[in-house]
Amino acid sequence: MSTTSKSNPFPFSMKISIVALIMAATLGYSILKKRHIDDLTNSENSLILKELPDFEADGVFGPKVTSKNLFEDGSKATLVHFWGTWCGPCEAELPEFIEFVKRNKENGVKAVLLAVQDDEVKIKKFLKRFGKLPANIVVAHDKPGKSMISFGTVKVPETYLFAPSGKNLNKFVGPQTWSLQAIQSRLDFYISSIEGVEDKEIESH
């Protein structure tokens, strides 16, 4: 009586090849995932602004505002506030921010209202509701929005606080309640210890 040998549908060599392919795919996925995580980490680190970057913007009611002339007036602290007339949260926040800067005029605080990706006519029309702005508020216009890239700003509103040396002291992400005593106290602290504060880490809120 003869016996018929059953043929193996998956030869040993094919099994080895399949296992090798699975291992290669797993290794490749792990490498890609690690690269993705590294890219995200590097991207986040690159958004932490240490010093005032080179930038320039057209002045809406005066000369150009640049990184070179930003501190020429001798202000103790300068706020660079990114906003736009097209931004709903910016519109809601701006009245309180302007009042905050007005209150701190005698403290040597200046603010640059830096409108990005906006139209100058719309900016002037929008600001009419605030009447004559004080001398410590400068309005600038960056239609292409290149300054956002320089600062690492992804969306508006966003505000940076700079020391006269150009060091970034604080970053306010998103709309803030500028009437809060906590914000005023933080600003007072930076102004009162402006010399020693140069060594402090950047804070973000």
Query: Which strand (E) or helix (H) includes residue 141?
Result: strand 137-142
Q: Cis ω on the peptide bond leading into residue 157 (within 30° of 0)?
A: yes
Across residues 34-58, what is the average pLDDT? Answer: 64
- pLDDT, residue 23, reads 75
Q: 3-class DSSP state for residue 121?
A: helix
Please give the single-letter amino acid code of residue 194: I
- The rounded distance, in Å, linking the Cα atoms of 163 and 5 is 86
- The rounded distance, in Å, linking the Cα atoms of 87 and 89 is 6
Task: Note the pLDDT tens digit of each residue in 120-165.
Answer: 999 999 999 999 999 999 999 999 999 999 999 999 999 999 999 9
- pLDDT, residue 192, reads 83
Task: Note the pLDDT tens digit of each residue in 61-78.
Answer: 999 999 999 999 999 999
Q: What share of the chain is helix, strand, coil (3-state, %, to 5)?
A: 40, 20, 35
Report whether pLDDT(5) > 50: no
Query: In CATH terms, is domain 56-204 a member of 3.50.50.60?
Result: no
Buried b (16+ CB within 10 A) or exposed e, 55-87: bbbeebeeeebebeebbeeebbbbbbbbbbbeb
Q: Please calculate the CA angle 158-160-166 and round it to the nearest 5 degrees.
A: 155
Report whether pLDDT(25) > 80: no
